[in-house]
Structure 1
Amino acid sequence: MSEFMKDLLVNYLVILVFVFLVQLIYENYSVSETKRKFLMFGAMSLCIVFGMTFPFQIGEGLLFDLRLIPLMVGVLYGGSGVGASLFVVTAAYRFFIGGFGTWPSILTFSLALLALRLLHNSYAKWSSQKRIAAMTLFMGITTLSIFTVFLLFFSINIGPPRVWLMIIAANIFGALVLGILLETIRSSFRLREQVVQSEKLQLISQLAAAVSHEVRNPLTASRGFMQLLLTEGIDTESRNRFLNISISELDRAESIIRDYLTFAKPETEQLVSLYVPDEVKRMIDVITPLANMHNVHITSDVAACCIKGSPQLFTQGLLNISKNAIEAMPHGGSLILAAEQKEGTVFISLSDTGIGMMPEQVKRLGEPYYSTKGAKGTGLGMMVTYRIVEAMGGSIQVDSEPGKGTRFLIELPAHFPDQPRQVQYT
């Protein structure tokens, strides 16, 4: 009996491992339906061949295996095509093994395949509990029917009733465990899809709220000043001031919309070779007035290197990071920009001596509508920056410690132009 249990457990283990691995891949929605079916067929074929090669003995001259379980899984979860192919494998290997039970075995398994095919039509529509119950019940009835056919039509003695009960119990237990495992995996993947879909809807809701909130403010201000322009007796100086404010607010609204469009689809189709020292210098020239207002000293150490991308978007990304860094130093400090090339990668770092961030804040950088500035920030700048770097084939790493500052490290693929740039040193 101990040898019987050992062989039975080995057969169980092989089937469970193969089915578990297959189901994990089978529920991956990025895998095509054809590949799924081929994977199911291959794994269940190995289970059938293994079981028939290493059966377990239940009596004198009586061998038994669990080939019916992978056949059932193949039909119910893979479809008729997979089931028919598994039956061909089963029949061919049974002929190869030989023995007096070859034809009875093929006949009984063909009847089981037909019953499974009929069950498959309604199986997918049932609940998980009903599918598990159906698998278990089918396995018990089919195993009993096979024994009845063997005994009544082929006069093959399969031992005393206790042997029948042992084999039926082994099949029912295997079907029950396998059904629970399969349905649990399927349920977890369905739950994951629901969570992903819910997160997408929540993201759309946040973006819609952000656009509505951020664009409404400048539009409301512009509308108010335009109404003032309709007031009789307004002087020319006030009229010009109101017009300038209205135009400024409309420009701000346009800038917000542009940020969202950049996040959705960065315009990286028109890629050109960018000489990093020139791009960094251009960005520093733009950001210097803001740095002076906050008493921030900017230094740079940029080696000669090139990348490929959009100059406007690349500058915008650097400006977003630099602006945040300057605003993180309310009492002044230093902003250090550096760039170097190592083999095929360009590393651009921006380091500040500001207030720093907590690890939880660093993890959320780049999320839509998340800002470390509280009510003063929209989160659009970092969201756009991450999207720009990603579209250029790069990545961003952030190291920060509260009270000690933050370092952004941008990694981008190096570009090697056909005509090397002639650098003039002054």
Structure 2
Amino acid sequence: MGTYINQNLLNNLFYILSSIFVYYFIYDHGKFWKENSRQSQWLFIACTGFSLLLCMKFPIYIADNCIHDLRQIPFLIGTLYGGGIAGGALLFILLIVRSIFYGFQFLTVVVYVTMFIVAALVSPAFQRLNRTSKLYTSVCLTFFLAVLTTGIAIAISDFQVTQSYIVDFILIPPFGMLFVVYIMETLKEAIIMRSKLIKVEKMEIVSQLAASISHEVRNPLTVVKGFIQLMKSQSVPKETQDEYMHIALEEIHRAETIINDYLTFAKPSTNKTEPLMVDQELCYVIHMLQPIAQMNGIKIEEKLQPGSIIGNAQHFRQCFLNLMKNSIEAMPNGGILTVSSTVQENGIIITVQDTGIGMTKEQISRFGEPYFSTKEKGTGLGSMVAVKLIETMNGTWQIQSEVGHGTLTTIMFPKA
């Protein structure tokens, strides 16, 4: 058997497989081919036709008077998968190239016309089969055609069936077809599965987007609710009431901005940046969260140094609103929330420290993942948005936490 399986045979298989890979590579990386079935069919004909040509150009030399090749494999593959049009084009290429290389032979015409007719008739049913059925059908059909055309050759001419002919023309091609069809079906299924995966990912993004909208809008609405409850529960001076109303309107406007950003799929960006006074921005966020903190028995301590960074005010406030709100929710029985900012040579360091329930090492490592939260009804989207905003403003972050001893979040931004 080793006499028949030589380098030329392996080269023929290499030509066929390479053409299949080239076809799927071009098809998968070009939207044009997927949207135009006719052009895709001609691409398939070109690839299989080229491998057919190479098989005939570099045949399998078994003996001085014995030359074979595996041209029938790309020919049958093209006809079964491409139908009568592809098969007819490949038949034309095969007969023309055969005449150029070896001269015209009537027996060759009869053999491959017979193969074409049978394969073209089987093609519609073959394309509807599943992968396992295609594998069995391709092997049986190739073997049947090899035996059938050999019988025709013996009947109409003085054809000698040698041992090498039986191996290379009758036995090896069915196994070659099995291998090639398996590769084709695997590549085709991979492309289909990736297309389905992209659709699933898009639906997941839509789901996350909807959940994120509701989560981010809840923050300003919670602030508005807190101020309204304060005004309702006690007699508030007119001046303070106006201040509360002003902040409430600003928060409603912020909620509207968040909705507009998400609906237009706006990602956090630094397109609109300006110098930000860190201490003033943090005071603004602390002032917004003061009513919620008081309602939960939490004292907020400020240790702020004046310092300036380059960033987006809306994003900065949203980021630290999320972080501080997480800290407040981590202290269900009250506690102390300490917010500090320190100006150093290499940047401005902001810390948010609470005396809450803390986190485990695993929870720290997953901080910022969507849908991961230490809260019973949390979504994790607030932390995810905060982390994204920090990175957008070229900041870095670090978390230190211990269960039962609170959490320290450290954020560093480059100075303006």
* TM-score, normalised with respect to structure 1: 0.65
CA distance in 1, matches of 2:265, 2:345: 25
**CA gap 1:85/1:259 in 2 versus in 1, 3 angstroms:** farther
Contact 2:217 2:255 in 1 (8 A): yes
Q: Deviations over 1:117-145 (max 9, x none)?
A: 33332333221111112211221122222
Q: Does 1:295 align with 2:299?
A: no
Match for residue 317 of structure 1 among 301, 310, 315:
315
Structure 2: unaligned runs, 5 residues or longer: 287-299, 328-336, 354-358, 401-408
Q: Secondary structure at the match of 1:281?
A: strand
Q: Does 1:281 align with 2:276?
A: yes
What amino acid does structure 2 have at the position aligned with 1:111? T
Q: Secondary structure at the match of 1:295?
A: strand
Contact 1:218 1:250 in 2 (8 A): no
**CA gap 1:364/1:378 in 2 versus in 1, 3 angstroms:** closer
**CA gap 1:122/1:300 in 2 versus in 1, 3 angstroms:** same
Percentage of identical aligned residues: 19
Q: 1:118: which partner in 2? A: 121
Contact 2:78 2:86 in 1 (8 A): yes
Q: 2:45: which partner in 1? A: 41
Q: 1:188: which partner in 2? A: 190
1:94 shift after superposition: 1.2
Match for residue 107 of structure 2 among 104, 108, 119:
104
Q: Does 1:143 align with 2:151?
A: no
Q: Does 1:87 align with 2:91?
A: yes
Q: Does 1:54 align with 2:62?
A: no
Q: Does 1:264 align with 2:263?
A: yes
Q: Deviations over 1:180-227 (max 9, x none)?
A: 22222223333333344334334434444555677689889999999x
Match for residue 80 of structure 2 among 72, 76, 82:
76
**CA gap 1:374/1:152 in 2 versus in 1, 3 angstroms:** same
**CA gap 1:397/1:185 in 2 versus in 1, 3 angstroms:** farther
CA distance in 2, matches of 1:373, 1:262: 26
Q: 1:5: which partner in 2? A: 5
**CA gap 1:373/1:273 in 2 versus in 1, 3 angstroms:** same
1:172 shift after superposition: 0.3
Q: Deviations over 1:308-327 (max 9, x none)?
A: xxx9xx54334445656788
**CA gap 1:255/1:125 in 2 versus in 1, 3 angstroms:** farther
CA distance in 2, matches of 1:56, 1:177: 19
CA distance in 2, matches of 1:79, 1:187: 20
Match for residue 173 of structure 1 among 157, 172, 175:
175
Contact 1:80 1:117 in 2 (8 A): yes
What amino acid does structure 2 have at the position aligned with 1:5? I
Q: Secondary structure at the match of 2:307?
A: strand
Contact 2:13 2:176 in 1 (8 A): yes
- 5 Å-filtered alignment, 1:351-362, equals 352=350
1:332 shift after superposition: 4.4
1:13 shift after superposition: 2.5
**CA gap 1:103/1:210 in 2 versus in 1, 3 angstroms:** same
1:237 shift after superposition: 5.0
Q: Deviations over 1:276-305 (max 9, x none)?
A: 5xx123787544544796424453476xxx
What amino acid does structure 2 have at the position aligned with 1:174? G
1:147 shift after superposition: 1.8
What amino acid does structure 1 have at the position aligned with 2:190? S
Q: 1:129: which partner in 2? A: 132
CA distance in 1, matches of 2:82, 2:344: 57
1:66 shift after superposition: 1.0
**CA gap 1:45/1:397 in 2 versus in 1, 3 angstroms:** farther
CA distance in 2, matches of 1:402, 1:48: 63
Q: 1:17: which partner in 2? A: 18
What amino acid does structure 2 have at the position aligned with 1:19? I
Contact 1:259 1:381 in 2 (8 A): no
Q: 1:421: which partner in 2? A: none
Q: Secondary structure at the match of 1:93?
A: helix
CA distance in 2, matches of 1:401, 1:236: 40
**CA gap 1:383/1:215 in 2 versus in 1, 3 angstroms:** closer
CA distance in 2, matches of 1:77, 1:398: 55
CA distance in 1, matches of 2:21, 2:208: 38
CA distance in 2, matches of 1:141, 1:336: 83
Contact 2:341 2:348 in 1 (8 A): no
